[in-house]
Each structure stands twice: as structure tokens, then as C-alpha cells.
Amino acid sequence: MNEKLKTMGRFPTLAEMKAYYNRDDALSFLYDASQRRNVTAALFGKHWEIQPKSRENLREIINEIIRTKIEPLCPNDANSVTSIHIPVELVEDLKRPDLSKEIPAGYMVLWHGTTADRVKDIVNKGFRPRGRAQAVWFSSKYGLSHRVAKHRASQRGSAPVVFRCLFSPEQTGFLQKENNVYFLNPPCLSFHGATTIKVGKTVTGFDIVFEADKQGWQRSFDALSGTIQALDDSGVFYRLKYSGVRSLHLMIPFEAFPNQFNGRPIIDQHETISDKIQAYLIRHCGMGKVDRPKVLRLAYSLNEDNGFVNLPLEP
């Protein structure tokens, strides 16, 4: 990146996200990655592959995603993407709700139980994700939402209220369902690359990625410090990426490997090689428990869970 990165903090505004993804340097890096790896766009927990033909085509793809999938939830550019805007109306009679109202084709009605002291904020500013999950809770069952509202009201010393929420066809596609409960995360666009590189169904390359996700970023860095030293001593090319929260990712890219190993194509041995490298690093370099993710959020992408920029680190 040529310019000093501006730190936007947790959950940037819609305007900040649009401006960031329209930076020429960010676009250049993301486009270059899409030409070398299988890249997906991620939003609301859903992924779909993108294959831009040029940097400007990638700009068009990004702006179209923002226009069609994010802007309807954030009608004001100044709003933080933590404010999720869904058409709502208050249930007037909690004991005898009108469940027969007509629902437009393709739309979905969900219910949200809360308290009277939060009505004004929800109506004016939208839903704000709360709790450790940083997601908004809805239910397809009115009775469940009513019980939740009464429970929250007893805790807060307020009156229970239930919202009838109307989700458009575009918005329903990004709801995450667990039984009769639905979750909607803040709309922050992210980009990921698969660690197995394919053309069609044919594997053409692979990256070896280790992720240390400890309690606190210092512990994550410490968990891979011996591995980093060993790779430096051996002259192995690698890349480090910080998630923006606490995880440290170490990647040995496919380009760092020879075409053949022990007289066989390296591509035919990728699972065995990955396992043996990990076993060696655990035994001789003090590498603790790590994950080997199948997808890796791209450097310079925003983190879809919090909006932080994922930054590569110089070895």
C-alpha cells in the first residue's frame, strides 16, 4: 500500500467502507490476489466467488455489492454499519397479535422482542448488534419473541415490546438460521482466498497456512515465534498476516515450493507435505496448537466481523 493506512476502527461507516474499497492500491492488491487464487466475497456469513477481468471491473463488482446488498440496510452514508435498518412496526396488543397481515411475495416476517426504552433508538437508528456474537436476534415464532421481551423487561425494569420486522428477498438470503432463531450480522464486506488453488475441479496449487488464535494477540504471536525463527534460519519464504483482532496467520505460499519433490510432482503430495511440515514444526520449533484453515481472509480486506483492516506483516 502506498499511502499510510487510515485506521477506521471497529465497524466503519458505510461511507468509509465505500471509500476504502475504492482506493486504487487496495483494489490493485485484491485484483492481483484474484488472478492467483480462488477469491470469494463474503457478507453476512455467505460467500460467492468473484472473477474480475480487470481492476476496474473489480471496482464495479464491489460497488454493485455495496449498492444492492449493503446500502438498503444503511440508507444514510454516515450511519455505522452496526445499524441494521429493517422496516418494522410495533405489535399493539402483545397478548392478541395480528398474525394474519399479508406478506409481500418473497418477503419474510420475523419478530424481535425487546424493551420499551429501546423503541426510539430502533425506529430512528436501526438495530444494533449486541453481546459477544455481535449479531441481531430474530425469531420466526411470535411467542418466543414475546417471552424474550418479557424476560428482558424484567431485567431492565421496563415494559416488553415486540417488533414485526419485514425482510426483503435480498435481506433474507443473508440471515443465519438456527432452529426458529435467526441472526443477522453487521454488513461489512470481506474477501477471502482458498488455500487450495483450483481450475475447475483440478488442483493446481496449495498454500500451507497456520493460524494461531489465542486469548490475546500477544499469545498468538508467541505461539508462532519459534516457527518464524526456524523458517528465517532455513531461508524459507513465508508471509505473516494479522487478523486485526487476535489471530496471527503464517502462510508458506505455493510459489515457494519446488515443482517436484523426491521425484514426484509437488502438487500430488500437498496433503502429505502439509502434515509433515506441521509435525516437524511442532516437534522441533515449539509450535503449539494451530488451525489449518481452508480459506484465508485476504490482506487489506476488511474483517467482516468487525470492520478492522487485515494487515500483512513484514517478516
pLDDT in tens, 24-52: 999 999 999 999 999 999 887 778 899 99
153 and 200 co-located in one domain:
no
User: CA-to-CA distance for 78 and 71, rounded, in angstroms?
Assistant: 11
Beta bridge partners of 110: 165
> Which has more pLDDT, 124 or 198?
198
Q: What is the pLDDT of residue 173?
A: 62
pLDDT, tens digit, 9 for 90 and up, residues 38-90: 999 988 777 889 999 999 999 999 999 988 888 876 655 555 555 677 888 99
In which band, very low, low, confident or very high, does the pLDDT at 168 lie, cut at 50, 70 and 90? confident
74 and 97 co-located in one domain:
no
Per-state percent for the chain, helix, strand, coil, to nearest 5? 35, 25, 40
**R_g of the chain, CA atoms, integer Å:** 23
Domain of 280 in residue numbering reads as 196-293
How many domains does the chain divide into?
3
Assigned domain for 224 exists: yes
Whether residue 281 has pLDDT greater than 50: yes
> Which has more pLDDT, 134 or 196?
196
Assigned domain for 25 exists: yes
284 and 229 co-located in one domain:
yes
Assigned domain for 75 exists: yes
> Which has more pLDDT, 179 or 298?
298
65 and 4 co-located in one domain:
yes
- Total residues found in the chain within this entry: 315
Assigned domain for 73 exists: yes
Domain termination residue (choose one: 81, 100, 135):
81
Whether residue 91 has pLDDT greater than 50: yes
> Which has more pLDDT, 304 or 227?
227
User: CA-to-CA distance for 245 and 309, rounded, in angstroms?
Assistant: 10
In which band, very low, low, confident or very high, does the pLDDT at 228 lie, cut at 50, 70 and 90? very high
- How many other β-carbons are positioned within 10 Å of the β-carbon of residue 264? 9
Q: Which residue has the cell 444514510?
A: 76
Q: Provide the phi-psi class of 55: left if phi over 0, else alpha when psi is between -120 and 50, else beta.
A: alpha
207 and 225 co-located in one domain:
yes
Nearest to 305 by CA among 199, 183, 141: 183
162 and 217 co-located in one domain:
no
User: CA-to-CA distance for 147 and 187, rounded, in angstroms?
Assistant: 28
95 and 141 co-located in one domain:
yes
Q: What is the pLDDT of residue 238?
A: 93
77 and 92 co-located in one domain:
no
Domain termination residue (choose one: 39, 66, 81):
81
What is the overall mean pLDDT for the chain? 85
Q: What is the pLDDT of residue 79?
A: 52
Assigned domain for 283 exists: yes
Nearest to 139 by CA among 113, 167, 106, 107: 113
Segment 219-246 mean pLDDT: 88
Assigned domain for 130 exists: yes
72 and 103 co-located in one domain:
no
Domain termination residue (choose one: 24, 49, 81):
81
User: CA-to-CA distance for 135 and 117, rounded, in angstroms?
Assistant: 20
144 and 111 co-located in one domain:
yes
Q: Are 138 and 184 in contact (CB under 8 A)?
A: yes
202 and 254 co-located in one domain:
yes
248 and 263 co-located in one domain:
yes
- How many other β-carbons are positioned within 10 Å of the β-carbon of residue 164? 19
Residue 60 makes CB contacts below 8 A (sequence gap 6+) with none
Q: What is the pLDDT of residue 132?
A: 52
Assigned domain for 315 exists: no
Whether residue 2 has pLDDT greater than 50: no
Which of 125-134 are b and which e, b meaning 16 or more Cβ less than 10 Å from the residue's Cβ?
ebbbbeeeeb
Assigned domain for 310 exists: no
Whether residue 299 has pLDDT greater than 90: no
